[in-house]
């Protein structure tokens, strides 16, 4: 077994709860996608809508916005947590580039582009996009990259589970708001998680001019 693979295994073993819960969620999503159509899953996950939930998810979904990741990056810099800040911004940029490349490659329609208001009356006015950039979900990619970096750096593993649940709810918000299908969100979660894991592993192997990532430890 290569040294690189051993390194990844060692990282995952350090927080089995985070990776176990993530694996369970992704497995359930994968099985659902293999059995049911994207439309059927979309309708099933959006069976309950209220004004309160509309307002809640319109605000909660902003956790997946790039501005939020950049804000965390700046806060960490101000707090003199430069190594962690570098991981956050690198994971955000890397996952974002991958996401944007795939969006343009797949050119997949968003839900409102193929589902009418008559079929689904809960599209949120001013929120739901109708373009062809559905796959993968950029917000989900961003929030899972951030959650993975924070989880990998925390010494209190209870927080890592909180980061994961926060990311999962953000992913669901994209479906609730009618912006993505489950496949888009699942792909975004995978891309974001793998990006965060790769960035964390890589930056702990090298020294950058203004910070030695390897020698810093964090308690978030």
Mean pLDDT of 204-219: 48
State residue 216's pLDDT score.
46
Pairwise CA distance, residues 102 & 138, whole Å:
10
What pLDDT band is residue 218 in, cutting at 50, 70 and 90?
Answer: very low
Domain 3-215 belongs to what architecture? Up-down Bundle (1.20)
Backbone angles phi, psi at 132, to 5 degrees: -115, 40
Quote the CA–CA distance of 189 and 100 in Å, as a whole number: 14
Closest CA to 48 of 179, 176, 182: 176
Better-predicted residue by pLDDT, 94 or 214: 94
For residue 90, pLDDT beyond 50: yes
Contact indicator for 18, 164 with CB cutoff of 8 Å:
yes
User: Residue 152 has which token pair?
Assistant: 């990998």
Please state, rounded to an integer, the average pLDDT across all residues of the chain.
90
pLDDT digits (tens, 9 = 90+) for 26-74: 999 999 999 999 999 999 999 999 999 999 999 999 999 999 999 999 9
Q: What's the whole-number mean pLDDT along residues 8-16?
A: 81
Distance between CA 14 and CA 201 in Å, rounded? 13
Secondary structure of residue 117 in the 3-state scheme: coil
| Partners of 121 in beta bridges | none
The predicted-structure confidence for 156-206, as pLDDT tens digits, reads as follows 889 999 999 999 999 999 999 999 999 999 999 999 999 999 999 888 766
Confidence of residue 1 (pLDDT cuts 50, 70, 90): low
> Contact at 8 Å (CB) between 211 and 146?
no
Give CA–CA dist 220/152, Å, rounded: 10
Residue 217 has pLDDT above 60, yes or no: no
Asked whether the predicted pLDDT for residue 209 surpasses 70, the reply is: no
64: left (phi over 0), alpha (psi -120 to 50) or beta: alpha
Give the span between the Cα atoms of 133 and 121, in whole angstroms. Answer: 22
């Amino acid at each position: 077994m290569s040294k690189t693979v051993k390194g990844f295994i060692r990282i995952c073993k350090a927080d089995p709860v985070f990776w176990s819960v993530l694996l369970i969620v992704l497995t359930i999503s994968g099985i659902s996608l293999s059995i049911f159509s994207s439309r059927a899953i979309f309708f099933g996950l959006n069976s309950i809508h209220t004004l309160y939930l509309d307002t809640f998810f319109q605000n909660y979904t902003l956790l997946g916005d790039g501005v939020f990741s950049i804000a965390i990056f700046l806060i960490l810099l101000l707090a003199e947590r430069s190594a962690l800040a570098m991981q956050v911004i690198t994971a955000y940029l890397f996952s974002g580039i991958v996401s944007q490349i795939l969006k343009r490659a797949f050119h997949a329609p968003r839900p409102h582009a193929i589902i009418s208001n008559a079929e689904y009356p809960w599209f949120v006015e001013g929120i739901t996009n109708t373009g062809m950039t559905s796959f993968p979900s950029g917000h989900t990619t961003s929030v899972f990259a951030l959650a993975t970096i924070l989880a990998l750096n925390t010494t209190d593993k209870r927080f890592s589970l909180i980061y994961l649940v926060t990311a999962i709810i953000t992913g669901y918000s994209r479906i609730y708001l009618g912006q993505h299908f489950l496949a888009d969100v699942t792909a975004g979660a995978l891309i974001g998680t793998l990006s965060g894991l790769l960035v964390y592993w890589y930056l702990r192997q090298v020294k950058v001019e203004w910070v030695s990532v390897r020698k810093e430890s964090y308690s978030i």
